[in-house]
Structure 1
Amino acid sequence: MRRTRPVDDAVPRLKDHKVQVVELICRVCDRHSAHERNLLVKAFGASVSFAEIRRRMAMGCERMQTPQGDKCGAHFPCLGNGLADGN
């Protein structure tokens, strides 16, 4: 059974962005990955937030959890203004 979470309409979700390829870039650790949107939908569902995708893709980044908070620079260029980048 799936847990339900409250839905925040202000949070960017995969279903709201119809780009073919979703890129995740981090200038701090020189990370760049690109994933087909349809594969992300299959893996996480269309209603997944970009924040959740970011957490999963950047798993293992030592900057995600520091005493000062999230210092990971990973973000999605398709969101334009840096939303869901954790900073």
Structure 2
Amino acid sequence: MVFEHAPTAAENDLGPTLKDHREPIIEFICRPCHRDCALERNLLVKAFGASMTFAVIRRRMAMGCERMQTPEGDKCGAHFPSLGDTDGPDGN
């Protein structure tokens, strides 16, 4: 019997990673939570690693948000505007 490893959450999250985005400052915004901050890319790389996707970083930074998991899906407004995000995962 051959067992293949199950993909990790990070492997399932396609999208830009920290190594793909070279700007020194990355803005993180969540209008419903009144969050607006500028994050240093080099500190994010130290904390998460250069291969971490922004989707995973977003979920970790929004941990505890009651809008993250609703019956209608992810309604959290957290996003990275410099990546072309509008207002979260579905543009709402």
Q: TM-score when scaled to structure 1? A: 0.81
Any stretches of 5+ residues in structure 2 without a counterpart? 1-5
State which structure, 1 or 2, has the greater radius of gyration over its C-alpha atoms: 2
- Which residue among 33, 36, 47 is the counterpart of 1:32? 36
Query: By how many angstroms is 1:69 displaced?
Result: 0.6
Q: Structure 1 residue 59 and structure 2 residue 63: aligned?
A: yes
Query: By how many angstroms is 1:45 displaced?
Result: 0.4
- Which residue among 26, 48, 54 is the counterpart of 2:52? 48
Q: Greater CA deviation, 39-48 or 20-29?
A: 20-29
> What's the C-alpha RMSD, in Å, of the aligned pairs?
2.1
Aligned residues: 82
Runs of 4+ deviating beyond 6 Å: none
C-alpha distance in 2 between matches for 1:7 and 1:79: 19
